[in-house]
Structure 1
């Protein structure tokens, strides 16, 4: 068995962000309980073994396996120990998984909403066997042979990682690594393929985190494309600079002294957001001063990313955004840029171009479209205008008053219309209710309701800001 690297510490040279708010045990997580009032194994207050940091966490051999659990807590396995969460101390593995004796070879969380029986199951592999856990408990019928669960997959694996359907050519997939061989297993059809990925081989651990895929090789790690197997530029990198807290090492620590950078990237700072948007796939983004947060992936952590990480060549502030017909429209001042959506975002040729030429308006404070609707709503000042994106995209309808002097951003989902101003938002059941309103709907906190932050009186209870590899 090969040993894996890295305790996944979140890293960005351009910004810091808070992870989940800490619970009482100080590890961070979703706070689920098992129905008896106690927390799941990954959140409970188990006695810790002596945590010989940084010797164990920063050793050359790294970790045996890494995975997210069902609540978005990162698990790092090494020998008889496990680290839970980004700031957790070393614990005895058999305190949480007494059924497994000795080191694990690989670990995996399944993400397959169409298969509730396996969705959010956590699999631990050892030799020719695997153990499957649901909500922290061993499922009936386990352990069993790996071949029985995943036909064609051999034992003594080195690593495994889930690949979400929308990121893996529309097929929920698991990648298994053994030496130089990469197996691709389709969870729906059970089709097995071998990938020719010379750049992604000999992975001692693999993990998906916030839509990015990592392969660890000793103390080095790679970020790879789950469809092509291509490795990003400037890899491999040393995990001690990104994935674990090690004395004298680190990446981007200069940003810690920049209060403005911290406030931009701290979702709980109360600093206003300039735009929001959602699309029919359920993705939701919030924009703030050249960075974005992805709200629908909050289970795996909250982190601010520079715009260019997702939208190539995009810089500066996003003033308004909306999605329609598999395209994303980003408004910056009097210009609009369109990106084609799919497995990623590709800028449409000829953009940016004037907003006036595209939509028939000179400027916009906020924009939104509702799910499966061709109607775009543009807000400027205290008025709203409707544009039919299919029939007359350059000809907005008449001005209609709304009970808000100004809004920073707007969002429409299946739950209604949300208008954002400063640190507050106002909720309306639908557009008709907004237009008919004579006074603003009650104000609610953006950071509490959208970003799951502690209420203002509880500020300071959040987890420490860490770094993430770009």
Structure 2
């Protein structure tokens, strides 16, 4: 009884303390799929978007938040603020002395980073680096020629819009009547986006005009989430998303299958698009594939170190005996980035990192052989082969090679195409 009395006393004290302790909601790790309002956004030197919320950083379009000061250490050493006011990438072709810098604004200070290292002499006062630009900014975005009349930075504070000429340091005040006040802004794929709350609008950097049906939900285009807003149009979202594809292939009938996160797009020969969850058509896979390839009227899906196989039809039939180990099916260990077969119908070509391998599907056991480097890309997200050659997806762009040989051995970068526009017909 005495022990029970002591335990009850400790419990009562603990409950009393818990009522008095105030929990700071900002200390919780943010979830990008919960309609967040980002503090700042910028694209790094490799074209990967960075989104900042409180003291956290989201890299790219998916993945968990991490502490911002783990990547940009000095932000925390100089300012224990827990947030970034604004950010942009400073890089202009007409200014060769300037590198790919990421510029941050915190209160009245500006920080300049090159390769994630704070440059000597920073932080500095905003007035010293960008004279005439106010403190406590809402957003900032770079605007190179000819997208702006001169290489410029656009600064946002409330209703005030400042076009700052990088060369002359002159300021041109603008009035963007049709655009809401931006809480963050960034330039991506030569387009300009104003994020306001968890919504966004695409705008003309010279006039601020917003064309099309905006605002739109940011999660539908800049996040890879398993669930979206109730008003989300799945076909519209998947064909216009800025999140890179995980895998893409065509079957023997010429139908295209493009996979991203929990969803996939199906495009038939009439260019009719349908969007479905992966689980609805390929329930054994569930979601998140690494690579998909077509071989002898079957679809093969690689997820982690296993391969799932389906017979193509009105409903895709899961083949008995699958999933099988990746090593057994393709003769290779570990994560792969893409796989595809071409006209010979005997080999599957596997991309892992910047190398490509050949797998003879008639061999037993199978082995990934003939390793050779791919010259023009360091990383690739997806690839497929068709009658006109090899198509490779890197980020939000794709590249076409007339043959497998040109893809592997070529040194010249082919013409760049936009995935949303030219692969899926998205006009915004």
Structure 2 length normalisation: TM-score?
0.49
Structure 1 length normalisation: TM-score?
0.45
Where is the helix percentage greater, Structure 1 or Structure 2? 2
Where is the strand percentage greater, Structure 1 or Structure 2? 2
* Structure of greater relative contact order (alpha carbons < 8 Å, 6+ residues apart): 1
* Structure showing greater Rg: 2
